[in-house]
Copies of this chain bind each other. A is one copy, B any other.
């Protein structure tokens, strides 16, 4: 019974109110609002808002800036969220790149740095690369890594939420079982959280306004993974292993043994992941396009050529669209979501590719679905990591009020 009282006692209410006021302050563009504005935004009473602002001011999170501006009768108290008070970092570790974002407490990204992951990177080398990239991104914002308040890491693989480590990451050598959060925590001195990359991309979509309560998010890059939102809640499965579209097998002959994977990729990833697109493009294209693809390994040249009407490039886009639709149709037949949002590196192809995907998808489905390309592009995972780091900061902040 005492736990029940604690969970509903007046200080919990104060904390909830403070969080509501903080969120309302952060939701306004210039982070400044009047008490009346906050009363309206939160639905709280004026005394409750004032009490929350006092607690937030005492904690240093809010300052009053209204001295210069007076209304007739009474001075307008203008509260400002001090977003510059602290910083967080969001990190996306992929098989080919490390992307680090440093943001202030309002979630505004102040700097970002990307580094290529060497193909033969061991876990140890990855941690080193991660540290230098993080240090550079932080320095650009004028922050020492040790001054970060919270860091979140997104990585492919299945996260053991109890230990906070990746337990299965077939795509990065030496990565499975590596105590990456412990390593970073020891170096940084702040809390470090880890989450499956696709789950973070879903979090970023929702943060940036995606409100469908029955959503399928597909991350399409080198790897292919999906995240589901069911009844407005992220769905992770019984072993936090749901959504592994990249591993479904549409390729192996039905009565044959599936071949053992040597590249760590799943069958569907090996078919339409960024690497497979590059291989098919090099195979079918010729001349300049082929040369550029071979030299850079960047599929952007394929999509450029297709947009310019190159027939070989267009045929690659159509083949990839048809194959991707085949796999996506499987998940749509099983999940029947209201909307599909596709993010990840391959979305740089733009509508050229996705119009073809929609066309190929339609005859394969029993129920209609809306498919759109994420506005976040390849930044989704890192941005979702920023959001996760902020969530943890907020939890600590408001629990200390």
- Interface positions of A (Cβ within 8 A of B): 158, 168, 214, 226, 230-231, 233, 235-245, 247-251, 254-255, 258, 271, 319, 322-323, 326, 329-331, 333-338, 363-364, 366-369
Contacts and interface: CB of A to CB of B under 8 A. Distances in A.
Contact of A158 (B168, B214, B248, B366): B366
Nearest to A237: B336
17 contacts: A158-B367, A168-B366, A230-B235, A237-B336, A237-B337, A237-B367, A238-B336, A241-B336, A242-B334, A249-B250, A249-B326, A249-B330, A250-B250, A254-B322, A255-B322, A258-B363, A330-B330
B334 A331 contact: yes
Contacts of A237: 214, 335-337, 367
A54 B200 CA distance: 56
Given A249-B330, A254-B322, A255-B322, 9 more contacts: A214-B238, A231-B233, A236-B336, A239-B367, A243-B336, A248-B334, A249-B329, A255-B319, A330-B334
Stoichiometry, as copies per complex, reads 2
B250 A333 contact: no
A338 B366 CA distance: 27
Nearest to A363: B258
A322 B240 CA distance: 26
Contacts of A335: 237, 242, 334
Contacts of A214: 237-238
A249 B336 contact: no
Contact of A336 (B230, B242, B364): B242
A362 to B, nearest CB: 12
Contact of A244 (B238, B247, B333): B333
A247 B336 CA distance: 13
Counting from the closest, the 3 A-B pairs by CB-CB distance are A237-B336, A241-B367, A238-B338
A248 B367 CA distance: 13
A334 B367 contact: no
A334 B238 contact: no
A250 B255 CA distance: 11
Given A158-B366, A331-B334, A334-B335, A254 B238 contact: no
A250 B242 contact: no
B271 A254 contact: yes
Contact of A245 (B231, B247, B254, B334): B334
A212 to B, nearest CB: 9
A168 B335 CA distance: 17
B247 A333 contact: yes
